[in-house]
Amino acid sequence: MLRKALISCAFFSLAGLPALAATSALVVGVDVYPHEVSLDGAVKDARDVAQALKTADVGTIREFINEKATKDAIRAGWLELVGAATKGDMIIFTYAGHGAQMPELVAGSEPDGLDEFLELPGFDRSRAEETAKEIIVDNELNAWFAEAEAKGVQVLFVSDSCYSGGMNRSISGKTRLAPTVRAQLPPPSQEAVSGAAVKDADLSQVTILAASLESQLTPEVVIEGEPRGALSWSFARALEGAADRDGDGLISRVELEDYVFSNVKLQSEALQVPNFTPQVPRSDREIVLSLPRSAALADGNGAAATGRSSKLKPARDMGWTGTLALSVNGTAPTLENVGGSGVPYRWDATSGTFYTPNGDVAGEHVAADMVQGVVDKFILLDFLKVLAAQNPGKVSLTPVKDIYSSGDRLNFDAPQSGYANMLVFNLANTGEVQLLDAQVSGSGSHVFKLRDLEVVKPFGADHLVVVSTNAPIDAVVAALSSPGVEASEFLRLLEERLDGTDSAVAIQPLYTRERGQ
């Protein structure tokens, strides 16, 4: 059967999808929970995905938002799509909202004795038996998917919710985790009973991409100034064609894995680590999504593309403004490039603590004469994130943690790319840009390895960055070779030389603190 990963922020893909298969979609998003802590970004997620589906010319799309997300309505929508589909077609089913656990309904069906379920607005745990109709249990989803598989219909399921625990950083946003239901619920539905008998092999064309490891919560994080789910945001961008790196109108599992892994980590500031199951693709050319719109195959001039476009969109065309929303507690000096809308960064002038919109400590003991540098660092970081969202590179930091303590030893790696030039640097929590490595006019960038890196003061948020490009970077490297390079100066160099070019950007957030805090 599909076990925990089914509800825990899972992304389902499929092998061998025909390029011309008809695609329909069922989209669910719930912010308003009358009997539960409401969310802030799930409806934005659902509407973003729905718009991306429409842009991709997906056929029938059924949307269920807030109070319209009842189990009967969702079930009817599902049956409609399955009934209209024929062999080889695909149904995309996305869910953004709360997930939770409860004692298993079918004895012996779950190794840990717990069922996972999608929690709909009508469920009230204080009246669990009366309102149990307004949850969708994992075994029921098994049965639904088996209905599609019986017709040879492919299923792509994206669930931006979670039920697992374990997060060490202090996050001010909400998590998509509802408390475990302890009350005894009514006997299971016939769908839950039949779904409990469904084995993994019975759904042979389903692959799982979990948005978080089982040990992690799925938080709502601030993306482009708004609370969002990192998986939904990344999936919407993938639908828009960002994951289609070779421009053939098909997204392979490798392309999707590269794109979603990088962007979920990037947008969640390394709070989430996606995970594919099975770990190895079923074939070298496993296709998970077809992009039917012709625009997916066009470059910036509208001409048919034979591969990846040689240029990416400039950051300002993607919404980057070069400013930072900042809230100050206390008296602040006159600051440049501060303004804009959305959830702000925060600086406590008394303690000197600088916070990200997610509530993370980005810097400690940031004095008045230092705060402009920290502001400039995050403006630069936002610029790099826009580039990375279009063409993400690969990096790894081991061991994997959401926060590191003083004295921890780390290894940082960047693989070789097909680009001639490579630039590796650190955006320190003080705002300083620190050159780590560079290769200029090579035949292909070398593998970069940073071994036995020790966590020391000052603590906060560093960001290790790798830029791979064919654009000339000699002047950039020369500037970084001087000590004490300011983020604002470095940003001007990157805007002039790399903005809009074919450049891959990888960003590894590194949050640190004093041991024992």
Burial letters 178-188, b for 16+ CB under 10 A, else e: beebeeebeeb
Can you name the residues that pair with 24 across neighbouring β-strands?
91
- The DSSP line for 59-115 is S-EEEEEGGG--HHHHHHHHHHHHHH--TT-EEEEEEES-EEEEE-SSTTSSTTSEE
- The pTM (predicted TM-score) of the whole model is 0.85
Report the candidate in 180, 255, 253, 165 with the shortest Cα–Cα distance to residue 212.
165
Res 131: pLDDT: 93
Distance (Å, whole) CA 242 – CA 267: 15
Q: What are phi and psi of 351, to 5 degrees?
A: -85, -20
pLDDT tens-place values along the chain, 517 residues long: 333 334 444 444 444 444 457 889 999 999 999 999 999 999 999 999 999 999 888 989 999 999 999 999 999 999 999 999 999 888 999 999 998 887 666 765 555 567 788 999 999 989 988 999 999 988 898 899 999 999 988 888 888 887 555 556 666 677 777 777 776 677 678 777 777 777 767 776 766 676 676 656 788 999 999 999 999 999 999 988 888 888 888 888 788 888 988 899 899 998 887 767 666 676 767 777 777 654 343 333 333 333 344 568 999 999 999 999 999 999 989 999 999 889 999 999 999 999 999 999 999 999 999 999 999 999 999 999 999 999 999 999 999 888 999 999 999 999 988 899 999 999 999 999 999 999 887 656 688 899 999 999 999 999 999 999 998 898 899 988 888 789 999 999 999 999 999 999 999 999 999 998 7
* H/E stretch holding 24: strand 23-29
Helix (H/G/I), strand (E/B), else coil: 483:
coil
Q: Which amino acid appears at position 147 of this protein?
A: E
Measured CA angle at 398 (ends 392, 401), to 5 deg: 90
Distance (Å, whole) CA 275 – CA 98: 20
- What is the domain partition of the chain in residue ranges? 4-297, 315-513
Report the candidate in 19, 53, 503 with the shortest Cα–Cα distance to residue 251.
19
Res 3: pLDDT: 32
Res 295: pLDDT: 39
* CATH of span 4-297: 3.40.50.1460
